[in-house]
Amino acid sequence: MAVDTSEIRKEIKKIVGKKFLPLKIIDELVEKSVKENLTKEQIRELVKRTIEIYERNLIDPSEACGIVGAQSIGEPGTQMTMRTFHYAGVAEINVTLGLPRLIEIVDARSIPSTPMMNIYLKDKYRKNAELAKKVANQIELTELNEIAEIETDLTDLTITVKPDKDTLNKKGLTIEELFEIIKKMKKISAEIRGDEIFIALDEPSYKNLLDISEKLKLLKVKGVEGINRVIIRNEPGEGYVIYSEGSNLEEVLKIEGVDPYRTITNDVQAVGRVLGIEAARNMIIQEAYNTLSEQGLNVDKRHIMLVADIMTVDGSIKAIGRHGVSGEKASVLSRAAFEITVNHLLDAGRRGEKDTLEGVSENIIVGQPVNLGTGAIQLVMKREKMKRD
């Protein structure tokens, strides 16, 4: 089969020739032609018509696509419910959706208000409940006070940690492992006595005792920082999938058994940090599109793609609005038209800034045709026609 596709791909590329089709469409054509077992003649016709439709759908140069995009997202946005709290799927994880989520995406917040992850597992792990559980245990953050009782002895100024055997087993920990973790703490000396861990202070005092016992309670024994709760579900056709409340892409990807290619988080900034700007762009598109269609609003994907492109052009994720795109515009007049007009003009004057009048609002302000649509077209006389007369 693999040899077959390359042959067909070459054929299709030959038919496309000097014209243009995006790679993704060519891929789709190859796939379809193989699947339907098309003859050369049929492929030729298919490609020809695809090019025709593709060219008809192309946008004209100097079309005001930004404004059209803004309207096309803005209008359905007014239909969105102001405040919706929704529980994703069957799992009891609370996820911000609707308008608040859309605002969050567009503002490029560093941490979403309800971070969550869908953690997919590698083949070996996703079919096996035991292994999936093991991975989940490594991900869920466990503090010492969840698995053990911490008793302070005020007369001896000592602390005793009494782990609960059942929960310890459930988390796949042994008392030795627990001891190793506790031993790393500063200013104490610990030892195992039977089922308990006995802790003596290096500098015994009431204040130290209190401090240390508080620290012990919050001691991270297992799991990934930031992930407070995980739910394992058996998805039909997929196997076990871990859903988590809280997100930490960097650390979760390091865990053995996690499939790094499919695991996703709703934290766009984290995606940008870990997987790169292109991944972040795709993430913005997907998240925004899903939030809109979840509310029953059909916005064309290309409008959202434009927004995502603008947010990620320079390699970092910028917000739409004051602190991002609008505030960083190169043109003084454009910034002044957006917000705090006087300050922007004053600062620009002091710095001696130059405005090249390339944008829309600048040209409107100075009163000349805008560089869009018919306004962007320069007419010239047809010389050869003149000579003939």
Partner 1 sequence: MKYTRFEKARIIGARALQLSMGAPALIKIPKDVILPIDIAMLEFKEGVIPITVRRMKGKERSRSRGQL
- Going by C-alpha positions, the residue among 199, 181, 180, 202 that lies closest to residue 191 is 199
In the complex with partner 1, the residue whose CB is nearer, 310 or 360, is 360
What are the CA-CA distances from residue 71 to residues 51, 192, 287, 374 (Å)?
29, 67, 19, 20
* Secondary structure letter of residue 165 according to DSSP: H
Nearer to partner 1, 7 or 358 (CB): 358
Residue 111 or 366 with smaller CB distance to partner 1: 366
Helix (H, G, I), strand (E, B) or coil at 365: helix
Q: Which residues bind partner 1 (CB under 8 A)?
A: 60-63, 333, 354-358, 362-363, 366, 368, 371, 373-374, 376-382, 385-386
Q: Which residue number, 218 or 379, has a Cβ lying nearer to partner 1? A: 379
Q: Please say which residue, 62 or 152, places its beta carbon nearer to partner 1.
A: 62
Least distance (Å) from partner 1 to the CB of residue 382? Answer: 4
| Distance of closest approach, residue 139 Cβ to partner 1, in angstroms | 49
User: What residues does 85 pair with on adjacent strands?
Assistant: 96
Nearer to partner 1, 55 or 195 (CB): 55
In the complex, the smallest distance separating the C-beta of residue 361 from partner 1, rounded to whole angstroms, is 13
CB of 348 to partner 1, least distance (A): 11
CB of 96 to partner 1, least distance (A): 40
CB of 278 to partner 1, least distance (A): 24
Determine how many CB atoms are found less than 10 A away from the CB of residue 310.
15
61: its two tokens: 């140069």
Question: Which residues are within 8 A (CB) of 199 and not within 5 positions of it... i.e. 6 or more apart?
Answer: 158, 159, 160, 161, 182, 188, 189, 190, 212, 216
Measure the CA–CA gap between 140 and 244, rounded to whole angstroms.
Answer: 8
Distance CA 199, CA 201 (A): 7
Spatial neighbors of 296 by CB under 8 A, at least 6 apart, are none
Q: In angstroms, give the least distance from the CB of 103 to partner 1.
A: 32
Nearest to partner 1 of 269, 331 (CB atom): 331
Largest Cα–Cα distance in the chain? 115
